[in-house]
Structure 1
Amino acid sequence: MKLKDWDRNLKIRLFGEGLMNILFWMFFPFMAIYFSDSFGKGMAGLLLVLSQVVAVIANLIGGYCADQYGRKQMMFLSALGQGLTFVVFAFANSPWLSSPMLTFVSFSVLGIFGALYWPASHAMVADVVDEKDRNTVFAVFYTALNISVVVGPILGGLFFFQHRFGLLLIAAAVSFSLAVLISIFIRETAPEKRQNSLVTDSSTKWTKFLWTQLQDYRVIANDKVFLLFILAGVLVAQTFMQLDLLIAVYLSEKVPEQAVFTFLNTAIRADGNQIFSWLISENGLLVALLTVYMTTKMNQFKERNVFIVSCLIYALSMILFGNVTSIWLLAIAMLIFTIGELMVVGIQEGFVSRLAPEHMRGQYFAAASLRFTIGRTVAPVAIPLTALIGFQWTFYLISFLAVGAAVIYFVMFNMSEKQGVNHS
């Protein structure tokens, strides 16, 4: 499916969300440093975990609302809310005020609005794209995201620390512009929404409304195939999230300064931190260049085999990372790691869209994202674990979790085939 044949909704989303993602990655990688400097590492870690827990709840509610009240309405309100929050965020880092606590609150609220936005956004793809083309479309959006991951931190390194106030004001302006684009040019794509008596009953307490929304996820909890998909995804996320955690610390502490290559009789040397930045760039560049190609190739194989082999490749990369210190061997390990990532980036979203009933797509996509939210919350445990068992055995443990995910995927696909779900 060529870009010119895309629905207008998707073209607007690709452009608007691309700008938002670049701005997001201009400040997000540096927030952990900011909070550590402001609150100390222990308190910063606790606050960040707390913000992730809140994001989990918001994500579930966002999926419910996307199905109940429409994709467009949730995307518009979320973009508008992000714009207002960026204004407060900027004020907390302005010439008139410097407030780390208000900055944390703003950062957390941005996470909430993002969690409300993405389930509706993903469900809209499933609404307007034929099943045979969904994997490719999801892959294009993933490519755009990873271009942002490459470009954003480079620009952020130039602007975040010296020009944070202006950066955040620009982010607010882009958020408001995205809200306007959604309001004017995007049409609603959700199936006919169910009537919810709680919405029209003004006497109903908001806590009861919230509880009723969460209870609706019991339907998903009864979908054993989907639950296994989430469980396996959490284990895989433990591997993927180590890119910014265990791998970063390992390279910083264990990889010595070394000559990379020689130019004009001068050796170009790099330490572990520099090597880490280069490996991140390698990952981002490979993802940006190869996502659509890999997704197209993976569509030729059975999903079961792709998911399982991806997990095993992740496990292999973790073992290699934990046993080498040469930059070239580390680059090979990152290549293997990225192949495992690229194998499933498109097909996993397509899998969810087929598994979900039409009227519950938003909730299914929201619940599916728990793989990453829970993984992001738990993954930092690997860092203190290295003090107990060492880096090498910690890498072995992470690789074992990836193998465990492969076993769960095997069971999941066997179960889904017995239920008659097509995953060819």
Structure 2
Amino acid sequence: MRLRDWDNNLKIRLAGESIVNISFWMFFPFLAIYFSESFGKTAAGLLLIFSQFFAVLANLFGGYCADRFGRKRMMVISTFGQGLAYIFFAWSSSPWLDSPIIGFVSFTAVSIFSAFYNPASQAMVADVIPEKDRSKVFAVFYTSINIAVVIGPILGGIFYAKHRFELLGIAAIINILLSFILQRWVTETAFLTKTPEKEQNGFTFLLNQIRDYQVIIRDKVFLLFIIAGVLIYQTFMQLDLLFPVYIIEMVDPQSVFSFNLKAEQTFGLLLAENGLFVALLTISVTKWTSVYKERNVFIASSITYCFSIIFFGSTQWIWGLFIAIALFSLAELLTAGIQQGFVSKLSPAHMRGQYFAAASLRFTIGRMLAPLAIPMTGWIGYNWTFGILSALAIASAVLYFIMFSLYEKEQRSNSTIY
């Protein structure tokens, strides 16, 4: 499906979200270092877990609201809320105030509003794109994110140390502008139904939400998909958490093509390498993997993550780190375009927002638990920490095998009935 044939909603979002993502990645990769230096590794890890716990709740609530109140409304509220949170984040790093605590609270607020945004965003794609083209469209959005992962850290490496206040201020302005653009030019795509007046009170609203998610959790295939995803995200999330801390503490400055690279610059290049690979290859790899069974692709991705994390944790040589990130990027690429398409296959049209919200638990719960790796390095050392992460990747491969066995059995059963 060509870009010019896309729904106008998606064209507007692709442009707006690309700029927002660049502004985000100008400072996000450096936050693990910032909070570790401000609070210590153990406290920073626990605080990041605490912040992401609220993002998990917001993600579930956001999916419910996307189905009940509309994709557009939730995206407008979320982007405006992120803009306000960035204003306070910028203030915490301004010439008039230096407060890591306010910065942490603001980052938590950004995470919560982002968790509200994602289910509505993904459900909108499923609303307007035929099933056969969804994986390709999701791949394009994923590619745009990774273009931001290339551009953002490079700009951040240049400006972050001395201009964090300005970068956060730019992020605030961009998010608020996007909220007005979404309000003005994006149209609603959800199949909205009126909620009876007696269900409008908050308690009943919460009970209805819990009941709806119980229906989802009873879907054994989908539940295994979420659990396997949470496990693999323990590896994936370390790109922005454990990896920079490991490089700062364990990797000495080295020379590459006559350029002397400090630890921060090395990390920026590794992050840019990952983003460049994913940006350039997501669409082509998605086309390539589409000829294979989804089960084999998911399992291959988990095994590749295992090897990449072992390799990364066993070297301090800069070229070894580049090779490890190349493997890491391949693992990411294998499932980048097919994950959301698989979710759309499992989700009924009237519950898409909630299914995508529940699917996003892979990311939000994974992101909530992943910071544990930072204090773990102080408790058991880097070798054991990387070893545990690689074991979790293998465990996810086993769960994917079980999940697809159940899924294929259900498909055969349904075809027999009809």
TM norm structure 1: 0.89
- Cα offsets for 1:48-67 (capped at 9, x unmatched): 22110010000100000001
- Cα offsets for 1:311-367 (capped at 9, x unmatched): 111112223223344333332222122111100011001001111111111111111
**1:406 Cα offset (Å):** 1.0
Paired residues, what number?
413
In the other structure, the counterpart of 2:186 is 186
In the other structure, the counterpart of 2:391 is 400
In the other structure, the counterpart of 2:63 is 63
1:376 maps onto 2:370 in alignment: no
Residue 337 of structure 2 aligns with an amino acid whose one-letter code is G
- Cα offsets for 1:147-204 (capped at 9, x unmatched): 112212222344444344443333333222212221121111112335254564xxx3
Residue 18 of structure 2 aligns with an amino acid whose one-letter code is G
| Structure 2 CA distance for partners of 1:61 and 1:253, relative to 1, 3 Å | same
| Structure 2 CA distance for partners of 1:421 and 1:75, relative to 1, 3 Å | farther
In the other structure, the counterpart of 1:333 is 324
| Aligned mates of 1:88, 1:365 — CA distance in 2 | 30
Considering only aligned residues, what root-mean-square deviation do their CA atoms show, in Å?
A: 2.5
* More off after superposition, 180-189 vs 12-21: 180-189
Preserved contact between residue 244 and residue 267 of structure 2 (Cα < 8 Å): yes
In the other structure, the counterpart of 2:10 is 10
Preserved contact between residue 66 and residue 74 of structure 1 (Cα < 8 Å): yes
* More off after superposition, 402-411 vs 163-172: 163-172
Residue 105 of structure 1 aligns with an amino acid whose one-letter code is V
Q: Could you say which structure has the higher helix fraction?
A: 2
Unpaired runs of at least 5, structure 1 = 262-266
Preserved contact between residue 143 and residue 282 of structure 2 (Cα < 8 Å): yes
**1:30 Cα offset (Å):** 3.2
| Structure 2 CA distance for partners of 1:40 and 1:182, relative to 1, 3 Å | same
SS at match of 2:27: helix
| Aligned mates of 2:87, 2:100 — CA distance in 1 | 15
In the other structure, the counterpart of 1:151 is 151
After TM superposition, the structure 1 = structure 2 runs for residues 54-93 of structure 1, keeping only pairs within 5 Å, are: 54-93=54-93
| Structure 2 CA distance for partners of 1:36 and 1:364, relative to 1, 3 Å | same
Residue 53 of structure 2 aligns with an amino acid whose one-letter code is V
In the other structure, the counterpart of 1:363 is 354
| Aligned mates of 2:376, 2:37 — CA distance in 1 | 23
- Cα offsets for 1:208-240 (capped at 9, x unmatched): 533442342111110110010011111111111
1:344 maps onto 2:310 in alignment: no
| Aligned mates of 1:330, 1:164 — CA distance in 2 | 27
* More off after superposition, 24-33 vs 175-184: 24-33
In the other structure, the counterpart of 2:416 is none
Preserved contact between residue 254 and residue 272 of structure 1 (Cα < 8 Å): no
| Aligned mates of 2:89, 2:253 — CA distance in 1 | 39
In the other structure, the counterpart of 1:312 is 303
Preserved contact between residue 274 and residue 325 of structure 2 (Cα < 8 Å): yes
Unpaired runs of at least 5, structure 2 = 414-418
In the other structure, the counterpart of 2:288 is 297
Identity percentage of aligned residues: 57
| Aligned mates of 2:60, 2:30 — CA distance in 1 | 27
After TM superposition, the structure 1 = structure 2 runs for residues 148-227 of structure 1, keeping only pairs within 5 Å, are: 148-193=148-193, 195-197=195-197, 200=200, 204=201, 206-227=202-223
**1:130 Cα offset (Å):** 0.9
| Aligned mates of 2:137, 2:240 — CA distance in 1 | 27
- Cα offsets for 1:9-42 (capped at 9, x unmatched): 0000001111111111223233344444544544
**1:255 Cα offset (Å):** 4.2
Return the structure number with greater relative CO, CA threshold 8 A, min gap 6. 2
| Aligned mates of 1:157, 1:231 — CA distance in 2 | 35
TM norm structure 2: 0.90
- Cα offsets for 1:77-136 (capped at 9, x unmatched): 212222333334444444555544333332222221111111100100011111111111
| Aligned mates of 2:262, 2:94 — CA distance in 1 | 35
| Aligned mates of 2:404, 2:146 — CA distance in 1 | 29
* More off after superposition, 45-54 vs 191-200: 191-200
| Structure 2 CA distance for partners of 1:48 and 1:349, relative to 1, 3 Å | same
| Structure 2 CA distance for partners of 1:198 and 1:58, relative to 1, 3 Å | farther
After TM superposition, the structure 1 = structure 2 runs for residues 251-330 of structure 1, keeping only pairs within 5 Å, are: 251-256=247-252, 258=254, 260-261=256-257, 268=259, 270=261, 274-330=265-321
| Aligned mates of 1:241, 1:39 — CA distance in 2 | 20
In the other structure, the counterpart of 1:264 is none
Preserved contact between residue 27 and residue 153 of structure 1 (Cα < 8 Å): yes
| Aligned mates of 2:132, 2:239 — CA distance in 1 | 32
1:237 maps onto 2:228 in alignment: no
| Aligned mates of 2:376, 2:38 — CA distance in 1 | 25
| Structure 2 CA distance for partners of 1:24 and 1:386, relative to 1, 3 Å | closer
| Aligned mates of 1:116, 1:9 — CA distance in 2 | 18
| Aligned mates of 2:192, 2:241 — CA distance in 1 | 44
Preserved contact between residue 60 and residue 214 of structure 1 (Cα < 8 Å): no
